[in-house]
Amino acid sequence: MSPQSFRISLFEEHLEEASFLWEQRRVLYSNPEITWKKIGEFEERLEAHIDGLVVGGELALEIAKRQAVDGDAGELFAALCVCCRNGNRDYVLAAIDQLNHEDVEKASAAADALKYELPDAWVEDFLTLLDVGNPKVAPILARAFGYRRARCGPHLLSATKRCTAAGLPDLVWALGRIAYDPAGGILLDFLKTEDLPVRAAAALALVRMGKPEAVDYCLDQAVSNTWPILPLGLAAGQRAITLLAELVEKNGCRDCFTALGLLGDPESVPLLLSGLEQPTVAAAAADALHYITGADVYETALIPDDVGQDELVESEREESKQDKPLTRGEGTPSGSMASRLSRKAEDWNRWWEAHCTRFTEGVRYRGGKPYSPSVLLELLEAENTAHQLRYFCSEEIVVRHGQDFGLEMDAPVRRQAARLAEAAAGSRPNNSRFEAGGWYFSGRRIA
């Protein structure tokens, strides 16, 4: 093999490995056995391959550009990272413009690359592109600028008037991230559209911005829709508990259990315990109980293999439609044994009977402690906090306490750790503002 051929194969290997690690990193956020800090090890390996391409010069850059067109989403991510670091602005613009906006994987890869690597010197040029509202470009740029908390409110508003419905949730999400107050009116209008993803994104954006009218609207709409339920868990006061309990009794809504767990009032515990008797919502009920109590009530259970419908034969598809567990050839269930929060009512009832005196109705709890910003930060910093709970905590510290530290759960681990350190230092002087276990919205006490 010639030296040139060797270098080409080396750079192709860097791209292939970077692609695999980018995809693996995303998958790991849905793996309950991998902690958020452990994901940092995969990021370090990914960085080594990106760096190998950066130092590879023009040849590595050309190979990366070629694979960005012909390769998969992970290779596009790697190529855009390399181009950002090498200052190849025109190529980045062209690559994004050529994307098929219906290719969700590649759009996500492009957004990730810009979130992490877009040079500050390019921001103004890319903001001009955002104004245009191009359906290929606007959602990607909105994700990047919202993640970075860029001052892009007028540009996002301009884009909402031109972008297609498919791209609107990303633009609305970004408006909530930068808390652009002049967008409040249009976001309230988006709450009333027929497009459910847009309504859900608008609800989250508005509660992050501290708009109480959005909470009132969600309370009204939750009677007949599911999209307002999680925003209520993040933002509502005590009166939401009665509504959510009624919805549970009416239709056993899974999100209602999650929202009750987020609200954190021990009044909901008996209802959550009853949910453990229903297989379709038992997992959500167990999570909600853990959110309130912090109890380590675990069991060893068979976790079914995650198999797509296209991988099943006809008889297996029929079994899956009937919620029957898939079996291997010898008739044993398909899956592996693992530890998880117990879904057995007797386990949780036993724990609650032994510890219920520690909890007072009307007081909010998270992880067994009266709810407060410091408790949220403790959970965000703890290595073993579940990924979904970390996400909820990161939203709540903004929604409940009006403190945005620029923390995103898909940020590199090193960035998250730095943001958490800043948050811990910055929140100490404000902790006295909030009564532990109290009910707050946007930093204000609520009934």
pLDDT digits (tens, 9 = 90+) for 58-89: 998 888 888 777 789 999 999 999 999 999 99
Cross-strand partners of 366: 369
Element (H, E) at 353: helix 345-355
Show me where the domains of the chain are located.
1-117, 298-341
What sign does the CA torsion over 239, 374, 290, 389 have? positive
pLDDT digits (tens, 9 = 90+) for 346-370: 999 999 999 999 999 999 999 999 9
Q: Residue 76 in contact with residue 68, Cβ under 8 Å?
A: yes
Burial class (CB in 10 A: 0-12, 13-18, 19+), 323: exposed
Tell me the two tokens of residue 257. 């259990």
- CA 212 – CA 231 distance, rounded (Å): 12
pTM of structure: 0.90
- CA 81 – CA 54 distance, rounded (Å): 9
pLDDT digits (tens, 9 = 90+) for 180-219: 999 999 999 999 999 999 999 999 999 999 999 999 999 9
Q: Which DSSP string do the residues of 380-429 spell out, in sequence order?
A: HH-TTS-HHHHHHHHHHHHHTT-------TTS-HHHHHHHHHHHHHHHGG
Query: Residue 315: which pLDDT band, with cuts at 50, 70 and 90?
Result: low
- CA 247 – CA 241 distance, rounded (Å): 10
Q: Residue 313 in contact with residue 306, Cβ under 8 Å?
A: no
* Out of 53-57, 333-337, 380-384, least confident range: 333-337
pLDDT at 334 over 70: no
pLDDT of amino acid 166: 87
- CA 204 – CA 374 distance, rounded (Å): 22
pLDDT of amino acid 22: 96
- CA 78 – CA 62 distance, rounded (Å): 12
Tell me the two tokens of residue 436. 């532990």
